[in-house]
Amino acid sequence: MKKLLFILIFLLITSCKITRNVEKSSKDLRTINFPKKEIKVSKSLDKENIWVYIMAGQSNMAGRGFVEPKDTISNTRILTINSKNEIIYAKEPLHFYEPSGTGLDLGMSFAKEIITRIPDSISILMIPTAVGGSSIEQWIENKKHRNIKLLDNFKNKVEVAKTYGIIKGVLWHQGESDTNNQILIDNYGKNLYSLFAKFRQFAGNEELPIIVGELGSYSTNKENWRKLNEKIINYVKTDPNVKVVKTSDLTDKGDKLHFDSKSIRILGKRYAKQIIKH
């Protein structure tokens, strides 16, 4: 009996160790290609030649894709900020608010596309403000989510951005959280109006371009995601300075919630093409 009890305890301990190792390996795999160091921009920058784009929303803007080595190749014309608001050369991942979950976002693919379509004298500064799991009402009401006061943080980053360059637009992707509540779906268009008015007020530009991405078409909650996409499309018709990015052909990373890396890169290019059209 004692021998059997010893074997059971041994197997339990071994199982726990294996589980911890698998979890550790999974975590290490997610971050395996993350940059080992950041490179600060030491040269003086001409504010007039820095175009700033602010990324806002929830997890598909904050980034959940797998970062590959090609995503960490910097370009002297593509900049971002670190958690101390210091300007650095951009490498994925750009967001830093959720270290246990952050992955590839669309910032680099967006910026790479933009610089092919603008004068060589212009550099791009990507400002991250997205936080996974946040609802649009949390943004409007300046709620603290995952230890970040969403609207205060956005406003703070706008002020930082103004010291470095000219704010040219906001990239917004959000809504997955709202599809779990019919009232939030019904109010989504009204909420977009309220929130975007605040964004433009902070930026000091009533006609600031804002690009909105549709939710993916891969959800198991297809009907509610479709309804929210309709709200986005209908809102865009009322605001000439807001454009929508289609996502129906894009794919998820296997969780029915987040775009995979290939789709995130495509999404970034589509955001760029829409804002250049403005």
Residue 73: which CATH number?
3.40.50.1110
Confidence of residue 112 (pLDDT cuts 50, 70, 90): very high
Mean pLDDT (the chain, rounded): 92
Asked if the structure places residue 28 within a domain, the reply is no
Whether the pLDDT of residue 85 is over 50: the answer is: yes
User: What is the pLDDT at residue 10?
Assistant: 46
Q: What does the pLDDT look like over 193-215, one tens digit per residue? A: 999 999 999 999 999 999 999 99
Confidence of residue 43 (pLDDT cuts 50, 70, 90): confident
- Of 17 and 102, more confident: 102
What is the extent of the structural domain holding 68? Answer: 51-277
Asked if the structure places residue 44 within a domain, the reply is no
Measured CA to CA, the distance from residue 47 to residue 163 in angstroms comes to 8
CA dihedral sign of residues 106, 154, 205, 136: positive
Asked if the structure places residue 237 within a domain, the reply is yes
* Mean pLDDT of the region 175-180: 96
Asked if the structure places residue 12 within a domain, the reply is no
Confidence of residue 27 (pLDDT cuts 50, 70, 90): low
Instruction: State pTM to two decimals.
Output: 0.90
- 212: tokens are 């909105």
User: What is the pLDDT at residue 99?
Assistant: 95
Confidence of residue 277 (pLDDT cuts 50, 70, 90): confident
Whether the pLDDT of residue 1 is over 90: the answer is: no
Whether the pLDDT of residue 114 is over 70: the answer is: yes
| Residues 94 and 48: beta-carbon distance below 8 Å | no
Measured CA to CA, the distance from residue 55 to residue 199 in angstroms comes to 11
Asked if the structure places residue 43 within a domain, the reply is no
Q: What does the pLDDT look like over 228-254, one tens digit per residue? A: 999 999 999 999 999 999 999 999 999
Report the range of poorest mean pLDDT among 24-33, 123-132, 157-166.
24-33
The tokens 């009890």 sit on which residue?
5
| Residues 134 and 58: beta-carbon distance below 8 Å | yes
How large a percentage of the chain has pLDDT more than 70? 90
Asked if the structure places residue 29 within a domain, the reply is no
| Residues 135 and 173: beta-carbon distance below 8 Å | no
Tell the burial category of 125 from Cβ atoms under 10 Å away from its Cβ (0-12, 13-18, 19+).
Answer: buried
User: What is the pLDDT at residue 3?
Assistant: 53
Please give the tally of structural domains in the chain. 1
| Residues 228 and 72: beta-carbon distance below 8 Å | no
* Mean pLDDT of the region 115-119: 97
Asked if the structure places residue 110 within a domain, the reply is yes
Whether the pLDDT of residue 84 is over 70: the answer is: yes
Asked if the structure places residue 6 within a domain, the reply is no
Whether the pLDDT of residue 186 is over 50: the answer is: yes
Whether the pLDDT of residue 30 is over 90: the answer is: yes
User: What is the pLDDT at residue 278?
Assistant: 74
Whether the pLDDT of residue 187 is over 50: the answer is: yes
